[in-house]
Amino acid sequence: MSSNPVIQFKNVTFSYGSNRILDNVSLSINSGESVCIIGPNGGGKTTLLKIINGLLQPTGGTVTVFGQSPDQVSCRIGYTPQYIYFDPLFPITVRETVLMGRLGAKWGGPYTSQDKQAARESLNEMGVIDLEHRLFSSLSGGQRQRVLIARSLSCKPDILLLDEPTANIDAIIAAKLYDTLQRLSARMSILMVSHDISIVSTIFQRVLCVNHNVREHTTEDISDTGLAGIYGSHIRMVRHTPYCIPGDKKNE
């Protein structure tokens, strides 16, 4: 892992009207780091990701990604939002959905053979290459989530942002996703919002506790007492061994 910072926040604030969401946030993320973002609902976790991706502009302070403003380097950032809104009657295929992740690096024109190859590689990496000709609307929730992450990976990002990617998917699919994230962390920085505290120590190197401001921790620092201070109430911490996928010999 390099010590070169790829993301820097300096005294960043963000407000929706009079509602202050982030207050004087300063942080630095290094190249190759995997970071879990935790905190209560409404504390600013999703807002933090959107600022990194250039979808929101801070009210105050400065943000740089690779030393530039986020909107200048958005093609180097893969982003999977927590919620998606789509017309189930629109006949878009899985392949076409993933190809949309290539649009940030294009100035127009048809998709190239390189675009199509990148899309197939991403689908294969997420274990959904067999679904490429299916309609996106016909997929299960877990399949859709893996396709959306494949879309984020198709741009060959240096930073991957994931907003609660395991919400509403079962434990076996979540286990496969965590296994994939461990592999991806070898070649990119990963920031993931999650309420699944049990996986923090098995995947991530650092933890950002976001509740309008940000406290940084190592995974060893996460405890019942520390989490209660962030969430504002008692949290029962249960440590787990890494997820094991039934029938997967390498995890037995």
Range of weakest confidence among 20-34, 114-128, 189-203 = 189-203
Question: Over the stretch 63-103, which tens digit does the pLDDT of each residue have?
Answer: 999 999 999 999 999 999 987 777 777 889 999 999 999 98
**pTM for this prediction:** 0.83
Q: Could you tell me which residues come within 8 angstroms of residue 148 by beta carbon, excluding any fewer than 6 positions away?
A: 80, 84, 97
Please give the pLDDT value at position 216.
Answer: 84
Q: Is the pLDDT of residue 234 over 90?
A: no
Cα–chain-centroid distance for residue 250? Answer: 26
Q: Which of 207, 203, 204, 206 is nearest to 242 (CA)?
A: 203
Averaged over 16-44, what is the pLDDT? Answer: 93
Assign 43 a pLDDT band (cuts: 50, 70, 90): very high
Please give the pLDDT value at position 176.
Answer: 83
Please give the pLDDT value at position 58.
Answer: 96
Question: Over the stretch 168-218, which tens digit does the pLDDT of each residue have?
Answer: 777 888 888 888 888 898 899 999 998 777 777 677 888 999 999 998 876
Encoded amino acid at 207, one letter:
V
Give me the DSSP letters along 150-161.
Answer: HHHHTT--SEEE
Question: Over the stretch 128-163, which tens digit does the pLDDT of each residue have?
Answer: 999 999 999 999 888 888 999 999 999 999 999 999
Q: Are 44 and 197 in contact (CB under 8 A)?
A: no
Q: Is the pLDDT of residue 242 over 80?
A: no
Domains (ranges, CATH) in the chain?
A: 5-83+158-251 (3.40.50.300)
